[in-house]
């Protein structure tokens, strides 16, 4: 166990990211829902604007926590081909899961942001935060989708994850910050004392607080 809760993990992660503090080119993006309370502490400590970046895991039939792949805003889809081949998952089932998760992604986009546009990331250093890594498919989808938006630099920041997954992400992101890479790695929740589910209400509340402290030029700089 490394962290009391997600807020504690966010403070630890912010300390590891302190070189980015106070820089006007830095934007923090959280992967909902669990990544938001972590990213909230990071954004506050770095004095950076906070937004969400929507990603949905494609859960394996009968074991939703086991990723067949993931989808992200902008129509990005990444599939775990070895797993699909090993278990003979038919394309029709993958499509059905992707459609279902796509609807949930759209619902969350509207619920979390309302009519506000996302923060502009073109030319920025984007720090993408989650509460931990397991297979890394959600984060891989996020990084792939973000690349198409033209950021100057993509930094993946998570409190904990398996070493193999971290090394895979190093080949996709410009930098990966992960203070803890325990072996053996069981599940993200094993490294938190309190790993209660983050609600939609929690996400909206944390985003609202972050927007209240956003500088006027950042608010105005959201995409049209």
Q: Which whole-number Å values give the CA distances from 136 to 11, 20, 36, 207, 208, in the listed order? A: 22, 24, 17, 24, 28
Candidates 130, 195, 197; CA nearest to 169 is: 130
State the chain's mean pLDDT as an integer. Answer: 90
Which alpha helices (DSSP H) does the chain contain, by range?
6-16, 35-46, 81-87, 91-113, 137-147, 163-170, 200-212, 216-220
Can you give the CATH number for the domain in which 18 is found?
3.40.50.2020
Residue-number span of the structural domain to which 198 is assigned: 6-213
Burial code (b: 16+ CB inside 10 Å, e: under 16) for 186-205 equals eebeebbeebeebeeebbbe
**Which pLDDT band, with edges at 50, 70 and 90, does 13 fall under?**
very high
Q: How many domains does the chain have?
A: 1
**Which pLDDT band, with edges at 50, 70 and 90, does 135 fall under?**
confident
Q: Token pair for residue 95?
A: 């499509």
- Which has more pLDDT, 183 or 66? 183
Identify whether 149 is part of a domain: yes
Identify whether 221 is part of a domain: no
Examine the pLDDT at 62 and tell me if it is beyond 90: no
Contact 42, 14 (CB under 8 A): yes
Identify whether 220 is part of a domain: no
User: Percent of the chain beyond pLDDT 90?
Assistant: 67
Identify whether 62 is part of a domain: yes
Instruction: Return d(Cα 39, Cα 31) in angstroms, integer.
Output: 9
pLDDT one-digit tens code per residue, 166-223: 999 999 999 999 999 999 998 999 999 999 999 999 999 999 999 988 654 454 445 5
**Predicted structure pTM score:** 0.87
Identify whether 100 is part of a domain: yes
Q: Give, for 197, the enclosing helix (H) or strand (E).
A: none
pLDDT of residue 72: 86
Helix (H, G, I), strand (E, B) or coil at 69: strand
Identify whether 164 is part of a domain: yes
Identify whether 72 is part of a domain: yes
Identify whether 36 is part of a domain: yes
* Environment class of 92 (CB within 10 Å of its CB; exposed 0-12, middle 13-18, buried 19+): exposed
Instruction: Return d(Cα 191, Cα 9) in angstroms, integer.
Output: 10
**Which pLDDT band, with edges at 50, 70 and 90, does 66 fall under?**
confident
Least confident of 55-59, 61-65, 110-114, 190-194: 61-65
């Amino acid at each position: 166990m490394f962290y009391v809760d997600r807020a504690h993990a966010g403070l630890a992660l912010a300390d590891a990211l302190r070189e980015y503090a106070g820089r006007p080119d830095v934007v923090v993006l959280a992967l909902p829902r669990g990544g938001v309370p972590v990213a909230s502490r990071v954004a506050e400590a770095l004095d950076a604007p906070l937004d969400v970046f929507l990603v949905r895991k494609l859960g394996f039939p009968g074991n939703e926590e086991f990723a067949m792949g993931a989808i992200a805003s902008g129509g990005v889809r990444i599939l775990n081909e070895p797993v699909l081949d090993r278990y003979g998952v038919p394309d029709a089932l993958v499509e059905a899961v992707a459609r279902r998760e796509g609807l949930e992604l759209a619902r969350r986009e509207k619920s979390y942001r309302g009519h506000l546009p996302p923060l502009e990331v073109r030319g920025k250093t984007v720090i993408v935060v989650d509460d931990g890594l397991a297979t890394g498919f959600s984060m891989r989808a996020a990084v792939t989708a973000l690349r198409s938006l033209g950021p100057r630099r993509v930094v993946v920041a998570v409190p904990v994850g398996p070493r193999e997954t971290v090394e895979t992400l190093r080949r996709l992101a410009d930098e990966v910050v992960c203070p803890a890479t325990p072996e053996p790695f069981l599940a993200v929740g094993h490294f938190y004392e309190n790993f209660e589910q983050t609600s939609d209400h929690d996400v909206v509340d944390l985003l609202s607080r972050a927007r209240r402290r956003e500088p006027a030029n950042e608010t105005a700089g959201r995409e049209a």
